[in-house]
Structure 1
Amino acid sequence: MITLSSIENLQEALQKLERIKKDASYLHEKLLHAVHLTRALQFKYHYLGCSLLDVDCKEETPTFVSDSILNMYKRELDALKKDSQFYLVKQLFSNYESIGYAKICLLILDRTPTSLVGPTSIK
């Protein structure tokens, strides 16, 4: 997915993420774990975003892994979604969908907004 991001939108998303990190550190750790797991399994960040928002994204569903690995990944995401403050993550991904789930994930991984400005294609 190609997204075009303004520095203002990226900075706003980062500020929201920083508030989550400060006010709900345990939730942030779970979110960071989900992003690291997505990266380690070589799944698309867009798939993570869709999964967190319960959006159907069959075209992004990984087909190169066994069902047991996919089920393990879904269990890990379910643990995140069961957190009482998960609505903060849902708001983050919903409110900043226009910058792309991949860029949100890269912000979670401590990339700077300036490094993510402009058009990119990250899956």
Structure 2
Amino acid sequence: MTRFPTAAHLASWAGLAPGNNITGGKRGSGKTTHGDVWLTEILVQCAWAAARTRDTYLSAQFWRLARRIGKKKAAIAVAHSILVISWHLLADDRDYTDLGGDYFTRRNTDRQRDRLVGQLHNLGYRVTLDKTA
């Protein structure tokens, strides 16, 4: 992995680096760069497979993004994550530890609580919060 000093270099070479075309306060295309089509194709297939797994970080990431940007762009984003994870596993000689399907919920519990309380309010319930434990 010495050919790629960082995971971002590898993602750029593979064509999975997200575009960042902002000039004058206007956002341009976020299209990914051109790269190795064979690697990109296999990583996107892996992303689709990861999206169908249960209670994993990559599945949670896919469905969280798919709601907002669509399934195909979410698959590219998950493929990017798989490539970055692979770089770290090979460069640091570590084992993979999945963060879990509830990672995004655990990351910001206050926002999750407020969102769920708001949904109950919209359904006509009155909610009082009582912190136990």
TM-score by length of 2: 0.30
Structure with a larger share of its residues in helix: 1
Higher RCO (CA 8 Å, separation ≥ 6 residues):
1
Q: Which has the larger radius of gyration?
A: 2
